[in-house]
Amino acid sequence: MFASELFGEKWIWEDVEIKDITIDSREAECGTLFICIDGQNTDGHKFAQSAEKNGAVAILAEKEISCGVPVVMCENTKIEMAKIASKFYGNPEKKLKLIGITGTNGKTTVSYLVKKILENMGKKVGIIGTNEILVGEDAVGITSSTPTTPNSLELRKIFAKMLKMGAEYAVMEVSSHALDLHRVYGLNYEVGVFTNLTRDHLDYHKTMENYFLAKAKLFDISKVGVINSDDEYGKRLVNSVPCQKIAVGTKDADIVAEDIEIDEKGVKFTVKYKGEAAGAELGISGMFSVYNALCAIGTAVGLGISLSDALDGLKLAKGVKGRLELVPTDTDYAVIIDYAHTPDGLENVLNTINSYKRGRLIAVFGCGGDRDATKRPIMGDIGTKLSDIAIITSDNPRTEDPKKIIEDILRGVKGGTYEVIEDRRSAIGYALSIAKKGDVVLLAGKGQETYQILGTEKIHFDEREIVKEFLEK
């Protein structure tokens, strides 16, 4: 594609062919358009000359820079990047039915439940989220630079690949950062979903109100909003969103769950919608699974799928990697991995395990570095209060001192039986060494991750492998 096609009247120089687009100067080569993004950690404008040296033939910027190739100026490169990426990749987002899921907890699970419902109806579905980027069971082959929602350029590239792989739908997790930083600019969702809102990301948003307002932006770009109205912030959304809405919950909602049964095998409940009542089953335990199931059912209804078809697909859904994931062992105690990394997430998973455990609950948990520090003492209180034995350790310390993170966690501890073992591998080994028949060992915080971030490096760290190593000794 030629630069004049991308930029229109803004392009006043001799025309050049744009063969690729990047925001990383190291990826620039002959024929590349380099976009300067002023990000949270670095400013791309500082690397414009490096991109030029590597072969960039044009640069998009929002600040004055000095380069020997044409520089197109704009007010906001994040917004302009979304527009340019759409043109470059042939507007792939308009050829897919998009479903966006936001909320503090439950986004990943709901996305997989929706995927299963659609696939059970013979649809080909792409998924974009914390765990992976797939069409059906096949990897798309594009790795996102962010763990949850890719930037607008990556998204168009992913959508284009999904279309080539035959996808009709794209189900994606939409983070508050993505909504606030224009990563989903220019997208329109068939259905937007709100799961819940609890304390997280206050290092970025500063207040819960800002966090909520960022999440609420999803419903400005959705045709239908599916909202958990049992959540206090969900109630606000139901009364304020501009789109058509479907409230889900256990009372005073459009889709209601009643007669709820929860055990270690999963959840069962009766769904009521527009005078119709039917039985729902999901093989993932916990009250939060009822809400996740309701959000998935609401999404299906919002897409025009019948209640019976939605429930048929839901029954087929299995667990999601890193969410109450039972690790295969030959022991007489259970080992569970869960992504719980927020106060609410940790409380939910501990309460769920406590509801069916036969022995003790041994919980290994920590908190991530360079992230919201205010949640650390809260998690310290919850982790020690709701487990029989807590082992406080590192998560992804990143550039923070692990000892300082643990000190923050310990400020919230009011009692209970606990140990502090800074090294996470050693903490897991200790938990396994003290486990007895009937106990449950919970490894909380890392879930699907197969790495640990120490400093700025990602070190291979798969807790499934570590459990196996210790048990084989």
pLDDT at 204 exceeding the cut of 80: no
What's the pLDDT at 199?
65
Give the mean pLDDT of 172-182. 94
Q: Are 232 and 407 in contact (CB under 8 A)?
A: no
DSSP 8-state code for residue 219: G
User: 92-316 sits in which CATH class?
Assistant: alpha beta
CB atoms within 10 A of CB 422: 15
Alpha helix ranges (H) inside 217-306: 232-238, 287-302
Architecture of domain 325-472: Alpha-Beta Complex (3.90)
Q: Structural domain boundaries of the chain?
A: 3-79, 92-316, 325-472
Can you spell out the DSSP letters for 114-132? HHHHHHHTT--EEEESSS-
By percentage, how much of the chain surpasses pLDDT 90?
A: 93
Contacts of 276 (CB under 8 A, 6+ apart): 307
Residue 109 structure tokens = 């699970």
pLDDT tens digit string along 31-77? 999 999 998 788 999 999 999 999 999 999 999 999 999 999 999 99
Number of C-beta neighbours around residue 35 at 10 A: 29
Q: Provide the token pair at 230.
A: 């049992």
Q: Is the domain 3-79 a CATH 3.90.180.10 member?
A: no
Give the mean model confidence (pLDDT) for residues 110-116: 97
Contact predicate 44/23, CB 8 Å: yes
Sequence-separated (6 or more) residues with CB below 8 Å from residue 185: 78, 79, 82, 152
Residue 384 has a pLDDT of 98
User: Does residue 205 carry a pLDDT above 80?
Assistant: no
Distance CA 406, CA 408 (A): 5
Q: Counting every residue, how long is the chain?
A: 473
Residues forming beta bridges with residue 269, ordered by sequence position: 280
Give me the residue label for tokens 């022991």.
Answer: 331
Q: What is the pLDDT of residues 319-345, one digit of tens each?
A: 899 999 999 999 999 999 999 999 999
**pLDDT-based confidence at 414, cuts 50/70/90?**
very high
Reply yes or no on whether the pLDDT at 29 is more than 80.
yes
Predicted confidence (pLDDT) per residue in 258-312, tens digit? 999 998 889 999 999 999 999 999 999 999 999 999 999 999 999 999 999 999 9
DSSP class of 65? -
